[in-house]
Amino acid sequence: MIGAAQDWLEARVPFDDAARQQSLPLLDRAAKALLDTDPSGQSRLTIVDLGAGTGKSAAWFREHLTPRLPGRTIQWLLVDAHEPSLEIATQHVGEADTIVTRLSELPTALGEHLPEHPAPGTLLLTCSAVLDVLTQDDVDAILTTLDTYQGLGLFLLSITADWHLTPPDPRDEWLAQAFADHQRWDGKLGADGGHVMLRTARERGVLRPAATVPGS
C-alpha cells in the first residue's frame, strides 16, 4: 500500500513541525553548501521533496529554506507514488510541479525535469517521515540520483527502534511490535531506514561530512 491517510498527515503537522525545528542547523549547513557551490547564484536550484504526501513537509522546507537561499530561483518538485495526495499537496505548495512515481524509479522520473548535466549545487533532495517506509531499491535509486546529478540530500524525521510512549502502558511492547511489523511490510526498511541510507551512502562514496543518524 502506498499513500498515508490524509487526516493522519494533518493531525501530525504540529508535532512534525516541532520536531523538524531541531533540524534547522542542518538546513543552515545544506543552504551554505548550496550557496558555496554556486556562489554566483545564476543557476536555477531544484528542490525535490521525496514522499511529499499532502505537501506538509514541502511547505515546511519551503518556509525555512527559502530565506536561507536569498536571491536563488527555486523550482519545487513534489514526488510521491500516491497521486491523490499530490493533488492535495499542490494546494499547500503553490507553483510546485508534481511527479507521480515510486522512488525506485526516481533517476528516470527526474530526468524529464532536470538538465542532463546540471551544474553542481543546483539539486537538493529533501524528505521527512519517509526513510522508514522505503525499500533498499528506493534507497539505491535516491543515492543514484544524488550521484548522477551531484545533488545534496537532506533527510529528516525517521522512526527508529528506540521510541517510547508517555505515559507508559502495559500494552506498549505489543504495540511497538505491531508497529515494527507494519513498518517492515512488503520489504520496507522500517526502523533501520536511516541507518541503511547512511550505510549504503558510505559504501557508495555518496556522502558529505554533515550526514548524521541518531545513535550511529
Ligand X SMILES: C[S@@+](CC[C@H](N)C(=O)[O-])C[C@H]1O[C@@H](n2cnc3c(N)ncnc32)[C@H](O)[C@@H]1O
In the complex, which residues of this chain contact ligand X (CB under 6 A)?
2-4, 9, 16, 51-53, 56-57, 80-82, 85, 102-103, 128-130, 133-134, 138
Nearer to ligand X, 52 or 152 (CB): 52
Instruction: Give the integer Cα–Cα distance in Å for 126 and 131.
Output: 11
CB of 116 to ligand X, least distance (A): 24
Specify whether the CB–CB gap between 125 and 154 falls below 8 A: yes
Angle at 68 between CA 64 and CA 70, to 5 degrees: 125
CB of 111 to ligand X, least distance (A): 16
CB of 163 to ligand X, least distance (A): 15
Specify whether the CB–CB gap between 197 and 157 falls below 8 A: no
- Please confirm whether the linkage preceding 67 is cis (ω < 30° from 0): no
Nearer to ligand X, 60 or 149 (CB): 60
Nearer to ligand X, 11 or 73 (CB): 11
Residue 197, all three cell numbers: 541510507
CB of 53 to ligand X, least distance (A): 3
